[in-house]
């Protein structure tokens, strides 16, 4: 396991116990988006970075879901939400930047909410390459990420929160997720849109048929 991710694994062994409480003010907004993010997915689906399982209950019944996370403590929290899921769910402890137990070209969809902003910058290309590897040709991906705003007032607010976000979540607003996806020759970004301000970016795309 990469040393950079080992730091996050140790961090979330602690953070997992109060993650949902800390995240509640933001979850009031996020829970309005989650049904829309997964409503049209079907078939073999991989959720990368499932966290405490907030998306699980919104997946359609036609989904066969594999949900991975690096943190055993976060997966334990997610397991309690499996009972509310309408689809079949398999939770797997796995590193999103390596996915050693996940077979290539096996998934129709890959879903991720706030994964790449938590991954260290040095692992971004590696994680994106794994997305390309595990998707079937023609398979789709949908990622929700958070980024720095170009609006001065919002940027100042983010700068105030940045040290807290980095310490507790290991996350940063400076990740260049969209650029990493666009630079991967096996992936095509088909649509981007902001869900709120110029901060919450939804990225959609497809694994090229090569």
Q: Give me the chain's average pLDDT, please.
A: 94
Spell out where 35-173 has E strands. 43-48, 63-69, 88-93, 107-113, 135-146
Q: How many domains does one find in the chain?
A: 1
- For residues 130 and 99, the answer to whether their CB atoms sit within 8 Å is yes
Question: What's the pLDDT tens digit per position in 33-89?
Answer: 999 999 999 999 999 999 999 999 999 999 999 999 999 999 999 999 999 999 999
pLDDT, residue 9, reads 80
What's this model's pTM, rounded to 2 decimal places?
A: 0.94
Res. 187 pLDDT band, cuts 50 70 90: very high
What backbone torsions phi and psi does residue 11 show, to the nearest 5 degrees? -60, -45
Exposure string for 74-102, b = 16+ CB within 10 A, e = fewer: bbebbeebbeebebebebeebbbbbbeeb
- List all residues 6 or more positions away from 159 whose beta carbon is below 8 Å from its beta carbon: none
- Give the range of the structural domain holding residue 176, as residue numbers without chain letter: 3-207
Positive or negative, the Cα torsion across 25, 198, 168, 131? positive
Q: What CATH number has the domain bearing residue 37?
A: 3.40.50.150
Closest CA to 58 of 31, 79, 80, 78: 31
Which of helix, strand or coil describes residue 16? helix
pLDDT, residue 1, reads 47
């Amino acid at each position: 396991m990469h040393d950079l991710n080992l730091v996050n694994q140790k961090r979330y062994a602690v953070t997992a116990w109060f993650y949902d409480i800390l995240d509640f003010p933001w979850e009031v907004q996020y829970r309005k988006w989650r049904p829309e993010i997964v409503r049209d997915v079907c078939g073999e689906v991989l959720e990368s970075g499932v966290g405490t399982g907030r998306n699980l209950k919104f997946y359609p019944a036609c989904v066969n879901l594999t949900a991975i996370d690096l943190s055993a403590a976060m997966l334990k929290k997610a397991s309690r939400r499996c009972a509310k899921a309408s689809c079949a769910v398999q939770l797997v402890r796995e590193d999103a930047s390596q996915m050693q137990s996940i077979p290539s070209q096996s998934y129709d969809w890959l879903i991720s909410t706030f994964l790449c902003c938590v991954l260290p910058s040095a692992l971004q290309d590696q994680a994106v390459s794994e997305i390309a590897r595990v998707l079937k040709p023609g398979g789709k991906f949908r990622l929700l990420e958070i980024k720095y705003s170009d609006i001065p007032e919002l940027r100042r607010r983010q700068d105030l929160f940045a040290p807290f976000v980095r310490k507790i979540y290991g996350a940063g607003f400076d990740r260049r997720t969209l650029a990493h996806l666009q630079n991967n020759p096996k992936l095509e970004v088909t649509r981007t849109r902001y869900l709120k301000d110029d901060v919450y970016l939804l990225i959609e795309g497809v694994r090229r048929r090569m």
